[in-house]
Amino acid sequence: MPTEFNSLRVGVYGFGAIGGSVVNKLVGDPTHFCLIGVSSFNQCTLAKRLEGENTHIKSFKFEQLIEEVDVLVDCARGTNFLSRVKSASKYKCSIVTVNAAAVLLNYKEIKKTVTPDRNLVVASGALPGLDGVAALSHGNIESALLVTTKPISALQDARGFKSSGLDAANITKTTRIFRGSALAAASQFPANANVAAAVALAGGGSEHTRVEIWADPDAKFNTHKLTVESEVGCLSVQFEGLPLT
């Protein structure tokens, strides 16, 4: 990987709400980054969107993009994530991903794949304070609890919600729809448990990080409340973020 930021060649995989926002930031900072192009699972849809936005951003097939870049910013869903990591590992291409849940679910395989010259960086995204979790983990974390509250629309398509037996139309007050480990949350709510997975990866542990997910019909924000207790100290942090659309 180049040592000078101004020679860093970047590609983006996934062009949804997150991917589009990342692309705009990269385009707005040409001094430090060179956006090579974007890729997506559905190349036809991607091509139409780029054409509709009248942009000069180039579209690549995934295999072509990872050959051209130093860093791939992975903004797509976690489906086939491990396959993307393995493909990127064939080249000197590092990955920055928002898919903490996918990293947690595939952790053992990823450790076999990622090497010192091919970094995998998890974007913490919606929660500050993960450096504090990492610090507390050196003193034996006794408990870690993350309580996540989101609008019903953000949760109702998850397999964990569908298997809960709840009817989204009948939820009229804040309702808990999941309680369990970060690993279970990542499996049942892969698009909603990235913060939980990031806490686990930072030092909370996949089984010892406890997670509650609540659906709120009146919520305008995604809210995350984290409490960590360790033999060397305690941490409490809360973050409210507007959902990207």
pLDDT of residue 6: 55
Total Cβ atoms within 10 A of residue 6: 10
5-122 and 130-241: identical CATH topology: no
Q: What is the pLDDT of residues 175-200, one digit of tens each?
A: 999 999 999 999 999 999 999 999 99
pLDDT of residue 219: 94
- Which CATH number is correct for 130-241, 3.40.50.1470, 3.90.740.10, 3.30.360.10, 3.30.230.10? 3.30.360.10
Model confidence at 130: pLDDT above 80: yes
Query: Catalytic: 32?
Result: no
Spot the catalytic one: 32, 56, 208, 224: 224
Q: What is the pLDDT of residues 226-236, one digit of tens each?
A: 999 999 999 99
Second-level CATH architecture of 5-122: 3-Layer(aba) Sandwich (3.40)
> What pTM did the predictor assign?
0.88
Q: What is the pLDDT of residues 22-37, one digit of tens each?
A: 999 998 888 888 999 9
